[in-house]
Amino acid sequence: MITKKITVIPGDGIGPEVTSSAIRVLDEVASSCGCRFEYQEVPAGGVAIDTCGKALPEETLEAAKASDAVLLGAVGGPKWDGLSGDNRPEAALLGLRKGLGLYANLRLAVLFPQLKDASPLKNELVENGVDIMIVRELTGGIYFGERGLAPSDGTLENGTAKGLEAFDVERYSEAEIDRILKVGFTLAMQRKKNLIVVDKANILETSRLWRKRTAEISKEYPEVSVEFMYVDNASMQLLRRPSSMDVIVTSNMFGDILSDEAGMITGSIGMLPSASLGDPGKPGMYEPVHGSAPDIAGKDMANPLATILSCAMMLRSSLGLPEAADKVEQAVRNVLAAGYRTADIAQGSEEVLGTKAMTEKVLKELRKL
């Protein structure tokens, strides 16, 4: 029997609820495909600050490294908002990304046909569907560059003393750019063969290097049509013609921003999964795009579907079980088609379920497949 090791990081807020739903789904899948999943639950984020004194304990990173895949709920919450940068729960995310070498973040923004009225965009803009894969570089750029804060001796043009001065550096090497571009091109090949490289090449040197490397790498993927788009324009085009977009590949910060915008377009951030991947064969990390939602934590109100769909990505990309992944996605579609909703995606007439009841519906559909 195939046994796979999954590190589970429930984290904060609704994280524990949605990860325990997802584990039930994984177990159901395991029993039907003759494999076994071993889970090791470890702390990270706010809960780790409270119990171990730091957001990312060494044991957590070690457990993650030694597993086949990592399932993460969410980290953060108002309780830890007063802490400074490196001591915040979010530092755990950056540490896991860097520590596991997860340089490619895949965020899908899909408008489920059953939920198309949930999009805040006019119907005519989304009637052809939305299915955008955002590939965000995740371990480089300004989020990991040199940073500092120091008093400045200088003055403004009018003589006002500058006072404190802070800086954050955006730096990308050719090797870092090439490997993320290849992820983008590969995904484009598996999809509609359209790749948009988002940058700010009219200003930034890093962006100009991204463009140069794109020209080079694209020779290996002659079937993929490439478009360059400035990030400000991309944020508009996402609202104007989301249906025509296929794969977007971009830097860490631009991807952070655009993936939230794209998620909003679908109107159901509670539905969106993500995968963070490193080199092939290394453990990937899978998490819902939504955050820790402290306001509804512990109330059995959270939508577990984003985490369940993240498990589908895990089954496909890290566990080598693509049929199981298809089944999970089909089960989620069937549940939506049957009219079941959690509060965040309910429109009126449908039956609103809590986290546990929604999970039961998915399990029931899975057993039928």
Site residues for Mg ion, 114-133, by CB under 5 A, read none
Taking the complex as a whole, the smallest distance from the CB of residue 301 to ligand IPM amounts, in Å, to 22
Which of Mg ion, ligand IPM, none binds 90 (CB below 5-8 Å, type-dependent)? ligand IPM
Length of the chain: 369
Distance (Å) of CA 15 to CA 227, 303, 332: 37, 11, 19
Buried b (16+ CB within 10 A) or exposed e, 167-188: eeebebeeebbebbbebbbbbb
* Residue 169, both tokens: 């550096």
Taking the complex as a whole, the smallest distance from the CB of residue 272 to Mg ion amounts, in Å, to 12
Question: Of the two residues 17 and 90, which places its CB atom closer to ligand IPM in the complex?
Answer: 90
* Residue 3, both tokens: 């046994």
Q: Site for ligand IPM (CB under 6 A): which residue of 12, 17, 28, 90?
A: 90
Q: What residues are annotated to the active site?
A: 143, 200, 232, 256, 260
Taking the complex as a whole, the smallest distance from the CB of residue 75 to ligand IPM amounts, in Å, to 7
137 binds Mg ion (CB under 5 A): no
Closest CA to 208 of 233, 230, 190: 230
Q: Which residues contact 298 (CB under 8 A, 6 or more apart)?
A: 17
> Rg of the chain's alpha carbons, rounded to an integer?
21
256 binds Mg ion (CB under 5 A): yes
Question: Of the two residues 269 and 324, which places its CB atom closer to ligand IPM in the complex?
Answer: 269
Site residues for Mg ion, 307-346, by CB under 5 A, read none
Question: Of the two residues 35 and 184, which places its CB atom closer to ligand IPM in the complex?
Answer: 184
Closest CA to 117 of 281, 356, 341: 341
User: Rounded CA gap, 108 and 175, in Å?
Assistant: 25
Question: Of the two residues 114 and 139, which places its CB atom closer to ligand IPM in the complex?
Answer: 139
Taking the complex as a whole, the smallest distance from the CB of residue 256 to ligand IPM amounts, in Å, to 4
Closest residue to ligand IPM in the complex (CB): 90
Starting at the earlier edge strand, list the strands of the sheet with 225-230.
Answer: 35-41, 2-11, 69-74, 284-288, 273-277, 104-110, 131-137, 247-250, 194-199, 225-230
Question: Of the two residues 143 and 185, which places its CB atom closer to Mg ion in the complex?
Answer: 143
Taking the complex as a whole, the smallest distance from the CB of residue 93 to ligand IPM amounts, in Å, to 5
Q: Site for ligand IPM (CB under 6 A): which residue of 55, 93, 133, 195?
A: 93
Taking the complex as a whole, the smallest distance from the CB of residue 325 to ligand IPM amounts, in Å, to 22
Closest CA to 95 of 69, 56, 122, 130: 56
Instruction: Candidates 23-31, 113-121, 193-201, 248-256: pick the segment binding Mg ion (CB under 5 A).
Output: 248-256
Which of ligand IPM, Mg ion, none binds 93 (CB below 5-8 Å, type-dependent)? ligand IPM
Closest CA to 253 of 210, 287, 290: 210
Instruction: Candidates 82-90, 174-182, 254-262, 353-361: pick the segment binding Mg ion (CB under 5 A).
Output: 254-262
Question: Of the two residues 57 and 288, which places its CB atom closer to ligand IPM in the complex?
Answer: 288
Buried b (16+ CB within 10 A) or exposed e, 192-210: eeebbbbbbbeeeebbebb
Under 8 Å between Cβ of 289 and 307: no
Question: Of the two residues 176 and 256, which places its CB atom closer to ligand IPM in the complex?
Answer: 256
Taking the complex as a whole, the smallest distance from the CB of residue 198 to Mg ion amounts, in Å, to 15
256 binds ligand IPM (CB under 6 A): yes
- Using CB under 6 A as the criterion, which residues of the chain lie in contact with ligand IPM when the complex forms? 90, 93, 256
- Using CB under 5 A as the criterion, which residues of the chain lie in contact with Mg ion when the complex forms? 256
